Chains A and B, each alone.
Chain A
Amino acid sequence: MTFTAAEAPESLVHIVAPLPDDGRPRVHRGFLPAFAVVWLSVLTFCAIFAGALPFVKAPNKVSSKLKNSPSMEHWFGTDRIGRDVFSRAIYGARTSLKIAALSILIGIFIGGTIGLIAGYYRKKIDYVTSLFVDIMLAFPALVLALAITSTLGHGTNQVVLALSILSIAPLIRVVRAQTLVYAQREFVLAAKGLGARDGRILFREILPNVMPSLLTFSLTGLAILIVAEGGLAFLGQSVKLPTPTWGFMIVDGYPQLEHQWWICIFPCILLFLTVLSFNVLGDVLSKRFDIKESLA
Chain B
Amino acid sequence: MRYVRQKLVQVVIVLLATTFLSVFLMRQVKGADPAIAISGGLVSDPKALEEIRHKWSLDKPIVVQWGRWVKNMVKGDLGQSSAFNVSVADLLRQRVPTTLYLMLYTQVLSLLIAIPLGVYAAYRPNRLFDRVSSSVAFGLLSVPNFVVAVVLVLFFSLKFHIFPAQSTYYGLFNNPSEHIRNLLLPTVANAVGQVAVYMRLLRADMVTTLQNDFITMARAKGLPSSRILFRHAFRPSTFSLITAAAVNVGALIGGVVITEQLFALPGVGKLTVDAIFRRDFLVLQACVALFAIAFVVVNFAVDMAYAFIDPRIRHARALA
Residues of chain B with a CB closer than 8 A to A135's CB? 13-14, 17-18, 21
The minimal Cβ–Cβ distance linking A233 to chain B, given in whole angstroms, is 10
In the complex, the answer to whether B258 meets A279 with C-beta atoms within 8 Å is no
In the complex, the answer to whether A134 meets B14 with C-beta atoms within 8 Å is yes
Residues of chain A with a CB closer than 8 A to B76's CB? none
Which of A67-75, A191-199, A268-276 has 4 or more CB atoms under 8 Å from chain B?
Answer: A268-276
B254 at interface, CB cutoff 8 A = yes
Instruction: Annotate A106-146 by CB proximity to B: 1 below 8 A, 0 otherwise.
Output: 00000000000000000000000001001101111111101
Instruction: Annotate B285-296 by CB proximity to A: 1 below 8 A, 0 otherwise.
Output: 001100110011
Residues of chain A with a CB closer than 8 A to B26's CB? 147, 151
Residues of chain A with a CB closer than 8 A to B273's CB? 146, 235-236
In the complex, the answer to whether B291 meets A139 with C-beta atoms within 8 Å is yes
In the complex, the answer to whether A25 meets B277 with C-beta atoms within 8 Å is no
Residues of chain B with a CB closer than 8 A to A84's CB? none
CA distance A203 to B294 in the complex (A): 39
Given contacts A2-B208, A138-B296, A272-B147, contact A25 B135 (CB under 8 A): yes
B91 at interface, CB cutoff 8 A = no
B22 at interface, CB cutoff 8 A = yes
Instruction: Annotate B226-264 by CB proximity to A: 1 below 8 A, 0 otherwise.
Output: 000000000000001001100101110110011001100
In the complex, the answer to whether A131 meets B147 with C-beta atoms within 8 Å is no
Residues of chain A with a CB closer than 8 A to B147's CB? 250, 268, 271-272
B304 at interface, CB cutoff 8 A = no
Residues of chain A with a CB closer than 8 A to B262's CB? 234, 254
Given contacts A25-B135, A227-B144, A272-B142, contact A143 B291 (CB under 8 A): yes
Which of A41-49, A175-183, A207-215, A256-264 has 4 or more CB atoms under 8 Å from chain B?
Answer: A256-264
Residues of chain B with a CB closer than 8 A to A265's CB? 150-151, 154
A59 at interface, CB cutoff 8 A = no
B116 at interface, CB cutoff 8 A = no
In the complex, the answer to whether A25 meets B211 with C-beta atoms within 8 Å is no
- Residue from A147, A152, A257, A258 in contact with B284 in the complex, judged by beta carbons closer than 8 Å: A147
The minimal Cβ–Cβ distance linking B143 to chain A, given in whole angstroms, is 6
Residues of chain B with a CB closer than 8 A to A12's CB? none
CA distance A236 to B240 in the complex (A): 35
In the complex, the answer to whether A147 meets B25 with C-beta atoms within 8 Å is yes
B214 at interface, CB cutoff 8 A = no
B104 at interface, CB cutoff 8 A = no
Given contacts A146-B272, A276-B142, contact A231 B254 (CB under 8 A): yes
Residues of chain A with a CB closer than 8 A to B141's CB? 279
A29 at interface, CB cutoff 8 A = no
In the complex, the answer to whether A140 meets B154 with C-beta atoms within 8 Å is no
Residues of chain B with a CB closer than 8 A to A24's CB? 125, 134, 204
Residues of chain A with a CB closer than 8 A to B142's CB? 223, 272, 275-276, 279
A23 at interface, CB cutoff 8 A = yes
A54 at interface, CB cutoff 8 A = no
Residues of chain A with a CB closer than 8 A to B131's CB? 25
The minimal Cβ–Cβ distance linking B100 to chain A, given in whole angstroms, is 15
In the complex, the answer to whether B295 meets A257 with C-beta atoms within 8 Å is no
CA distance A247 to B146 in the complex (A): 9
CA distance A151 to B25 in the complex (A): 7
CA distance A44 to B317 in the complex (A): 49
CB under 8 Å from chain B, chain A span 88-105:
none
A148 at interface, CB cutoff 8 A = yes
In the complex, the answer to whether B139 meets A138 with C-beta atoms within 8 Å is no
B138 at interface, CB cutoff 8 A = yes
A230 at interface, CB cutoff 8 A = yes
A237 at interface, CB cutoff 8 A = yes
A139-B291, A148-B25 known, 6 other contacts, Cβ within 8 Å:
A22-B204, A134-B14, A140-B250, A142-B253, A146-B288, A271-B144
Selected A-B contacts with CB under 8 Å, 7 pairs? A23-B130, A147-B25, A147-B288, A234-B262, A254-B262, A265-B150, A272-B147
Using a CB–CB cutoff of 8 Å, the interface residues on chain B facing chain A are 10, 13-14, 17-18, 21-22, 25-26, 28-29, 125-126, 130-131, 134-135, 138-139, 141-144, 146-147, 150-151, 153-154, 158, 204, 207-208, 211, 240, 243-244, 247, 249-251, 253-254, 257-258, 261-262, 272-273, 276-277, 281, 284, 287-288, 291-292, 295-296
Using a CB–CB cutoff of 8 Å, the interface residues on chain A facing chain B are 2, 20, 22-25, 27, 131, 134-135, 137-144, 146-148, 150-152, 223, 227, 230-231, 234-237, 247, 250, 254, 257-258, 261, 264-265, 268, 271-272, 275-276, 279-280, 283, 293, 295-296
The 7 closest A-B pairs by CB, nearest first: A142-B254, A23-B125, A140-B253, A276-B142, A150-B276, A140-B250, A135-B17
